[in-house]
Amino acid sequence: MSLVVQKYGGSSVSDAEALKRVARRVADTVREGNDVVVTVSAMGDTTDELIDLAQEVSDSPDPREMDILLTAGERISMALLAMAIGSEGIPAQAFTGPQAGVITTEHHGRARIIDVAPGRLQKALADGKVAIVAGFQGLNQETQDVTTLGRGGSDTTAVALAAALGADVCEIYTDVDGVFSADPRIVPAARKLDRITYEEMLDMAASGAKVLMPRCVEYARRFTVPIHVRSSFSGLEGTWVVGETEEGDEMEDPIIAGVAHDKSEAKITVTGVPDVPGSAARLFEAVARADVNIDMIVQNVSATNTGVTDISFTLPSAQIPDAIAAIEADSGVIGFEALTTDDTIGKISLIGAGMRSSSGVSAKFFAALRDAGVNIEMITTSDIRISVVTRAEQLEKAVRAVHTAFELDSIEGEAVVYGGTGR
């Protein structure tokens, strides 16, 4: 008998029919002899509707009250799912995040899980019940207030529960069949991956793959929780996200896991920065104070002793105004000639744990881009990833070229089901 944690997103529980379909799947998992804990998101667009209501009554809703409001969505879905599972003849009990023992920091709207005390869930399991847990929420123990976990919170809840309960697997149900070697909407020949390591998945997620959020994968990696990403519609075997393979297996593993892309970033170039120690520090201190998330950074070698240099960095497009304001406010201490912004960039990343031990991967990557006529504007590398910035309009061509060059295209041209991006 295994202990299975399952997570269903909002699109899997969008209405009564969808809830009943999920209930049947949960009941089937129980009938197969498993103990089951289910994490569930709010139904369909509930969260967006609640946010709209809040904005109708207040220009700047209090974050504590906002969390009380938003957690009502999961309250509804978890209770209905428990009832629907009960109708399948399987006893089920619903628990809020606080009831399930999910303890978080105090940051309303973006709390982080500190600890999970799963006593009530264990009791429910021992009583032969399915435990349904509201995703995306927890308890600030000091104030006894409910908190929400922010983006990727429901997946993280599922992984945290799986870790605390010592579950055999954490199944993340979504509207795609798993993790793909590239976005099938851009690369029709993309293959569903049977297995991917935590490290690869982290880099895929950080590089634009939307099926899992990095924080959820990071949590799973830290506690070695096997994640199984699969479709709530097809019922097919999906993608397993697991730890590094044993050395003996490694030879059979592909060198490259996949190609990720991201169009959501922009580039800021600061020109004429004094080429003296501390310039970069002053620039990025200013940016950090504005809570801006920097991704890639490139500093040009200063040419012919002009005494000044240019620094470019990428960041989420939405944070451009904050970053510009922060840099201009500190222009006196930083010292620079001009600021330019460019939000028509794209980023393509090649990810694979196997590239650690393989030479020539970078060369092959750059050659593929050159052959496709794609110009490279910035480059960063880690030991399992190479990312380059290109023009946005060249991005899709670049993804297809690299996917083909590394022989990732499915040979049989098998049909791939891809319904959109996961939450």
Window 179-218: residues binding a second copy (CB under 8 A): none
* Residue from 133, 152, 72, 143 nearest 108 by CA: 143
Task: Please identify, among the stretches 32-40, 73-81, 155-163, 315-323, the one whose residues bind a second copy according to the rule CB under 8 A.
Answer: 73-81
Task: Please identify, among the stretches 90-98, 242-250, 281-289, 297-305, the one whose residues bind a second copy according to the rule CB under 8 A.
Answer: 90-98
Q: Is 210 annotated as a binding residue?
A: yes
Q: Is 20 annotated as a binding residue?
A: no
Q: How far apart are CB 74 and a second copy at their closest, in Å?
A: 9
CA distance linking residue 359 with residue 361, whole number of Å: 6
71 or 349: whose CB is closer to a second copy? 71
Q: How far apart are CB 102 and a second copy at their closest, in Å?
A: 15
Query: Exactly one of 3, 14, 51, 79 binds a second copy (CB under 8 A); which one?
Result: 79
Task: Please identify, among the stretches 28-36, 56-64, 196-204, 286-294, the one whose residues bind a second copy according to the rule CB under 8 A.
Answer: 56-64
Q: Is 73 annotated as a binding residue?
A: no
Report yes or no: 82 and 93 within 8 Å, Cβ to Cβ. yes
Q: What is the CA radius of gyration of the chain?
A: 23
Site membership for a second copy, residue 72 (CB under 8 A): yes
DSSP labels, 28-42: HHHHTT-EEEEEE--
CA distance linking residue 16 with residue 14, whole number of Å: 7
CA distance linking residue 171 with residue 4, whole number of Å: 7
Query: Exactly one of 3, 14, 45, 61 binds a second copy (CB under 8 A); which one?
Result: 61
**The pair of three-digit structure tokens given for residue 16, joined into one six-digit string:** 């009564």
Cβ-count burial 366-398 (b if 16+ within 10 Å, e if not) = bebbeebebeebbebeeebbbbbbbebebbbbb
Site membership for a second copy, residue 16 (CB under 8 A): yes
Q: C-alpha 216: how far from its chain's center? A: 7
Site membership for a second copy, residue 417 (CB under 8 A): no
75 or 210: whose CB is closer to a second copy? 75
CB count within 10 Å of CB 414 equals: 9
72 or 186: whose CB is closer to a second copy? 72
Classified as helix, coil or strand, 423 is coil
65 or 249: whose CB is closer to a second copy? 65
CA distance linking residue 27 with residue 317, whole number of Å: 44
Site membership for a second copy, residue 53 (CB under 8 A): yes
Query: Exactly one of 4, 30, 37, 66 binds a second copy (CB under 8 A); which one?
Result: 66
Report yes or no: 159 and 220 within 8 Å, Cβ to Cβ. yes
The amino acid at residue 6 is Q
Residues that bind a second copy (CB under 8 A): 16, 19-20, 23, 50, 53-54, 56-59, 61-62, 64-66, 68-69, 71-73, 75-76, 78-84, 86-87, 92-94, 96, 99, 120, 144
> Which segments are annotated as binding site for ATP?
7-10, 174-175, 185, 210-211
